[in-house]
Amino acid sequence: MVVTHSSNEIRKIKIKNFELLESISRKNKFLKNFFSDKATVIMFICNHCPYVKHINPELVRLTKEYIPKGVSFLAINSNDIEKYPEDSPEEMKKISHQLGYPFPYFFDEKQEVAKYYGAKCTPEFFIFNGLGNLCYHGQLDDSRPGNGIPVTGNDVREILQDILEGIEKITYPKIKPSYGCNIKWKV
């Protein structure tokens, strides 16, 4: 199922610390230990979603480009693994290794992080500046499976460049609808 996120639904949120299972190490870790004093990108993704699979190669390229510039990236999977076992922490670890994710991939078992940020789908991006203020909420770019538009990460890149160049925009937070698979909520 596909969902969009309207700008009326977003509230002014600040980056927040949570303790979650990090899939590679299989240990609980505090998210704040991965926040950057320049910019932090929190990405809601999962393993099974065709929209995430579509952007994965660009996601790896983008993160490898911006991590050396001081930007941190945190991926979070909030799906119900009872209904979607391919999104389990064990499978998250496999996909991280297989795709070469250069960022931590956390499991939000209680779905509290997704609820705090108001995440609705995968993939969905939240970009915060070094002060923890939300600068962007939305999609990676306009590409979707089958629409013929190349995956470039342009929407995320534009915000990251602005932050790194110290450009303050009155329009922050910038919001673009997210489009992908619904987060699989527990009943």
**pLDDT grade for 12, boundaries at 50, 70 and 90:** confident
- Please provide the DSSP assignment of 110-164 as one string: T-HHHHHHT--EESEEEEEETTSBEEEEE-S-S--TTS-PPP--HHHHHHHHHHH
Q: Answer whether residue 3 shows pLDDT above 50.
A: no
- pTM comes to 0.93
pLDDT for position 2: 45
pLDDT for position 4: 45
Domain boundaries, the chain: 2-10+35-182
Using a pLDDT cut of 90, give the percent of the chain over it.
Answer: 89
Give residue for tokens 């979603």: 49
Determine phi and psi for 118, rounding to 5 degrees. Answer: 75, 25
Q: Answer whether residue 138 shows pLDDT above 70.
A: yes
Q: Answer whether residue 94 shows pLDDT above 50.
A: yes
Q: Answer whether residue 6 shows pLDDT above 50.
A: no
Q: Answer whether residue 102 shows pLDDT above 50.
A: yes
Q: Cα(45)–Cα(119) distance, rounded to whole angstroms? A: 10
Output the CATH code of domain 2-10+35-182.
3.40.30.10
- Which of residues 4 and 70 earns the better pLDDT score? 70
**Model confidence pLDDT, tens digit, residues 167-177:** 877 667 999 99
Q: Answer whether residue 127 shows pLDDT above 80.
A: yes
